[in-house]
């Protein structure tokens, strides 16, 4: 009884302490946001190039993505950031934009040329990123030279004081993307509304393993999440992942996710494994019951049967019948699947600068049940120490995501 009475009498005191804590902390909150680390950006024009310089008093992680005339700089930091830049007087840099969301910070550099090259370098103390932007061709060099004749080459450098002066224009956050690439697509491409991405393996099923212990399932997920982000920002499309965490999903359920979501494209993302440590490069597959070569057959076997989930022989023969039935569902899309595979493979070849390992056909079970154009991408060989190193690198993962994205866009552009 005594216990029961002491609780309500003690309650107001707790309430007062809590309230005063909230009031006091609310005084501190605005100052907290003001003390967010300042990132200064300035743009300098030189004779035949422009420099974008990002300065901060804390180290930042930066990743680059180029889309046509736009260079996106993704900036990762454990601390909140605020941005400042000077007014821009540049021939090459038209505008700077800034978005901050829960996924991170994004600096968008919009260039006045339809194509350009960039080079970046990082200095640690104090932290500074320098990005050099140049015209991509002689033709564009001439176009650029004709712009703003009042510019006096090297002398036209904005002072530090100017750079700190004005604040940034804030752009649409990632959620409200501009979907710029939609504009370049033919009417037929508008039928494509949902893309399902399938990060291979997951949970107990780790997939292939690199010599340093990198697990394929982690790489597959990291690339898929980045690809989802790029597609959603550039196109007004829905992207569904068969898994967005490290969990087990059966191959049948992956196809079910695609079909339940009325997928218009299905892309399964994997990293390759080989006994030969020197094997390298990308491969893109579309479905066929007959493998295009012995290696493709072996790979399909490995992807279809993971050691953790050994199947009984009776089950396997049941699988064969299922596969033939499902293969008929996928066969309606064979031509489109092979075209999508071709476009993605071309971009990955450019990225990895490898001899074309090519588009191949193999009986991948995950593709069989999908009722839309479907491909399986083996990004690189996790079994190759050099390629494993790349696959671990977040910057490389962004490049892969961007290459696959470019493949999708090229496919969509050819639709009629």
Question: Which conformational region is residue 145 in: left (phi greater than 0), alpha (psi within -120 to 50 degrees), or beta?
Answer: alpha
Which is nearer to Zn ion, 157 or 279 (by Cβ)?
279
> Between the CA of residue 231 and those of 49, 156, 316, 345, 379, what are the distances in Å?
30, 38, 37, 18, 18
Using CB under 5 A as the binding rule, whether residue 207 contacts Zn ion is answered as yes
Q: Which stretch binds Zn ion (CB under 5 A): 79-87, 97-105, 193-201, 337-345?
A: 193-201
The neighbouring-strand residues paired with 270 are: 378
Shortest Å distance, C-beta 345 to Zn ion: 17
Which is nearer to Zn ion, 74 or 270 (by Cβ)?
270
In eight-state DSSP terms, residue 358 is -
- Residue 372 exposure: Cα atoms within 13 Å on the Cβ side: 21
Shortest Å distance, C-beta 84 to Zn ion: 45
Which is nearer to Zn ion, 207 or 210 (by Cβ)?
207
Using CB under 5 A as the binding rule, whether residue 373 contacts Zn ion is answered as no
What distance in Å separates the CA atoms of residue 379 and residue 357, rounded to the nearest whole number? 11
Q: Which stretch binds Zn ion (CB under 5 A): 41-49, 198-206, 222-230, 279-287?
A: 198-206
Q: In the window 96-155, what residues touch Zn ion (CB under 5 A)?
A: none
Using CB under 5 A as the binding rule, whether residue 210 contacts Zn ion is answered as no
Using CB under 5 A as the binding rule, whether residue 202 contacts Zn ion is answered as no
Residue nearest Zn ion, CB atom distance: 270
User: Each residue of 8-44: b (16+ CB within 10 Å) or e?
Assistant: eeeeeeeeeeeeeeeeeeeeeeeeeeeeeeebbbbbb
Instruction: Choose, by CB under 5 A, the member of 199, 200, 363, 369 that binds Zn ion.
Output: 200
Coil/strand/helix, residue 400: helix
Rg (CA), the chain: 26
Which is nearer to Zn ion, 233 or 365 (by Cβ)?
365
Shortest Å distance, C-beta 200 to Zn ion: 4
Which is nearer to Zn ion, 303 or 347 (by Cβ)?
303
Each residue 261-290 as x (binds Zn ion by CB under 5 A) or -, in order, gives ---------x--------------------
Binding-site size for Zn ion (CB under 5 A) equals 4
DSSP secondary structure string, 297-357? HHHHHHHH--GGG---HHHHHHHHHHHHHHHHHHHTTHHHHHHHHHHHHHHHHHHHT----
Q: Which stretch binds Zn ion (CB under 5 A): 120-128, 201-209, 233-241, 361-369?
A: 201-209
Question: Which conformational region is residue 410 in: left (phi greater than 0), alpha (psi within -120 to 50 degrees), or beta?
Answer: alpha
Using CB under 5 A as the binding rule, whether residue 51 contacts Zn ion is answered as no
Binding site for Zn ion (CB under 5 A): 200, 207, 270, 303
């Amino acid at each position: 009884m005594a216990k029961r009475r002491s609780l309500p009498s003690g309650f107001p005191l707790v309430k007062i302490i809590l309230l005063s804590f909230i009031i006091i902390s609310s005084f501190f909150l605005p100052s907290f946001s003001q003390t967010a680390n300042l990132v200064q950006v300035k743009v300098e024009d030189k004779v035949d190039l422009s420099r974008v310089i990002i300065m901060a008093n804390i180290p930042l992680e930066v990743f680059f993505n180029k889309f046509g005339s736009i260079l996106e700089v993704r900036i990762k930091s454990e601390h909140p950031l605020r941005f400042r830049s000077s007014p821009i007087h540049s021939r090459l840099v038209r505008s700077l934009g800034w978005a901050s969301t829960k996924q991170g910070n994004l600096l968008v550099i919009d260039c006045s040329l339809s194509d350009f090259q960039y080079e970046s370098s990082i200095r640690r103390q104090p932290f500074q990123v320098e990005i050099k932007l140049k015209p991509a061709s002689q033709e564009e060099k001439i176009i650029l030279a004709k712009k703003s004749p009042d510019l006096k080459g090297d002398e036209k450098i904005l002072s530090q004081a100017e750079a700190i002066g004005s604040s940034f224009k804030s752009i649409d956050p990632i959620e409200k993307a501009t979907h710029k690439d939609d504009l370049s697509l033919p009417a037929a491409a508008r039928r494509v509304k949902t893309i399902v991405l399938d990060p291979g393996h997951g949970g107990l099923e780790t997939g292939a393993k690199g010599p340093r212990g990198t697990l394929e399932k982690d790489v597959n997920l990291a690339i898929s999440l980045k690809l989802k982000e790029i597609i959603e920002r550039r196109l007004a499309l829905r992207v569904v992942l068969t898994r967005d965490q490290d969990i087990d999903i059966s191959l049948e359920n992956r196809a079910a996710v695609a079909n339940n979501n009325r997928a218009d494209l299905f892309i399964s993302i994997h990293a390759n494994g080989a006994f030969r440590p020197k094997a390298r490069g990308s491969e893109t597959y579309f479905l066929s019951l007959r493998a295009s070569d012995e290696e493709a057959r072996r790979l399909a076997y490995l992807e279809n049967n993971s050691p953790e989930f050994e199947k009984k022989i009776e089950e396997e023969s049941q699988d064969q019948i299922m596969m033939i039935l499902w293969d008929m569902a996928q066969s309606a899309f064979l031509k489109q699947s092979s075209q999508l595979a071709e476009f993605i493979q071309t971009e990955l070849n450019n990225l990895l600068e490898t001899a074309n390992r090519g588009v191949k056909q193999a009986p991948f079970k995950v593709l069989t049940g999908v009722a839309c154009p479907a491909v399986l991408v083996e990004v690189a060989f996790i079994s190759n120490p050099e390629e494993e190193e790349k696959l671990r690198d977040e910057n490389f993962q962004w490049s892969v995501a961007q290459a696959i994205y470019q493949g999708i866009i090229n496919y969509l552009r050819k639709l009629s």
